[in-house]
Amino acid sequence: MTLFKTGEVDRAFWSGKRVFLTGHTGFKGGWISLWLSSMGARVTGYALAPNTTPNFYEVAGIDGVIEESHISDIRNLDHLREAMTAANPEIVIHMAAQPLVRYSYINPVETYATNVMGTVHLLECVRGLESVRATVVVTTDKCYENKEWVWGYRENEPMGGYDPYSNSKGCAELVTAAYRQSYFSDALYPKHQHALASARAGNVIGGGDWSEDRLIPDALKAFESGAPLVIRNPLATRPWQHVLEPLSGYLVLAQALYQEGIGFASAWNFGPRDEDARPVKEVVNLLIEKSPPGAKWEQDQSEQPHEARSLKLDCSKADLLLGWKPKWSLETAVQNIADWQKTFLSKGDMKAISLKQIEAYQATH
């Protein structure tokens, strides 16, 4: 396999590329839509309407930067096929999902239908389209069988997942592997010319996330109202990373799949530096330093459903073969969140500050 050592998002590569993106109305999907459009990519989005008010999609004006937006359900195979056929994409990035652990305990059927059958539907549509050269399926660090050990998980370790969300993402990984072996294999590459990969990232933080039940949105909400942030597991360690980190990994991976082909068609970890897998309380303390006086946290004493205590990704494969490395420390990530939030609260131009942060990220070496 050729080593694809650029490690950087290549603006010239993306200019004019037709990209089909699921989940464009979400937090990560909104940021990647803006990034892709700023490089001249022609993005068609497919997702449900945003489910929070406010939301990144509206606040950053994503509808105005992408070529087409389909507000539709990934569980509807016919709608998805129609939208994807019309877009005639060269590259597909699949992010649409029910992404919340605690919600998945209450709604397991919806979680599996969206995350597992949604992935089957997506790959089934890709299978019927000759235009697609590269597909990236986005899953999560939680797809691994969690052994609660101190080492990072490698891409060849077994899939698992304790709760319905994590497990549905492990299943989405297995679905992706089965489609790759059955329809997009190495042996048949000269015929199908399509490279399919999956990407596993850590706990993503950044400006513009208003999801329920996530640390940064909960913290910002609490600090603005003057109430203490209530934390469930202050000592739980997570691989924290700014949203632009995994997004750059997905983009670099798509470039390699498109330009180099089948040798890159496998699973990839895009996690933070080792030193940024830190306990929840450290992240909150960093945010408190950048927040108005009076911001504080306390521990939730009530009984909680199971959540992994420790989770880390080994990213040496992405480093060695893609030349991809995390760029921003946790401190830089938190500073960018604080700047974004300050602009939002002062009714600033959210598209402009988001683009400025994307540019600053690209300029970091």
Ligand X SMILES: NC(=O)c1ccc[n+]([C@@H]2O[C@H](COP(=O)([O-])OP(=O)(O)OC[C@H]3O[C@@H](n4cnc5c(N)ncnc54)[C@H](O)[C@@H]3O)[C@@H](O)[C@H]2O)c1
Distance CA(177)–CA(166), nearest Å, equals: 17
Cβ-based nearer residue to ligand X, 138 or 267: 138
Of the candidates 91, 71, 88, the residue with the CA atom closest to the CA atom of residue 25: 71
Side chain identity, residue 175: V
List the interface residues with ligand X, window 3-32 (CB under 6 A): 23, 25-29
Span 56-75, contacts to ligand X by CB under 6 A: 73-75
Q: How far is the CB of 133 from ligand X (least distance, A)?
A: 22
**Alpha carbon distance 123, 171 (integer Å):** 14
Structure tokens at 225: 């109202």
In the chain, % helix, strand, coil (3-state, to 5) comes to 45, 15, 40
DSSP conformation letters of 51-93: -SSS-HHHHTTGGGTSSEEEE--TT-HHHHHHHHHHH--SEEE
Among 8, 13, 18, 48, binds ligand X (CB under 6 A): 48
Residue whose C-beta lies closest to ligand X: 26
Residue type, 258: Y
Between residues 95 and 350, which has the closer beta carbon with respect to ligand X?
95
Q: List beta partners, residue 196.
A: 135
- Partner residues linked to 195 by β-bridges: 134
Half-sphere exposure of 219 (CA within 13 A, CB side): 32
Stretch that binds ligand X, among 198-206, 263-271, 334-342, 353-361 (CB under 6 A): 198-206
Q: Which of residues 342-361 bind ligand X (CB under 6 A)?
A: none
# residues near ligand X by CB under 6 A: 23
DSSP string, 291-314: S-TT--EEE--S------SB--B-
Residue from 93, 136, 201, 220 binding ligand X (CB under 6 A):
201
Q: State the nearest-atom distance from the C-beta of 73 to ligand X, in Å.
A: 4
Nearer to ligand X by C-beta: 47 or 220?
A: 47
Residue tagged 């459903």 (tokens): 305
Identity of the residue, 48 or 120, whose beta carbon is nearer to ligand X in the bound complex: 48
- Between 74 and 262, CB nearer to ligand X: 74
Nearest to 271 by CA among 247, 238, 248, 246: 246
Question: Binders of ligand X among 72-131, rule CB under 6 A?
Answer: 73-75, 95-99, 114
- Classified as helix, coil or strand, 82 is helix
- 43 contributes a contact to ligand X by CB under 6 A: no
Of positions 9, 59, 117, 204, contacts ligand X by CB under 6 A: 204
Span of 197-205, 261-269, 316-324, 328-336 interacting with ligand X by CB under 6 A:
197-205
Whose Cβ is closer to ligand X: residue 20's or residue 27's? 27
3-state secondary structure of 277: strand
Minimal distance in Å, beta carbon 3 to ligand X?
27
Residue numbers of the site for ligand X (CB under 6 A)? 23, 25-29, 47-48, 73-75, 95-99, 114, 138, 140, 201, 203-204, 211
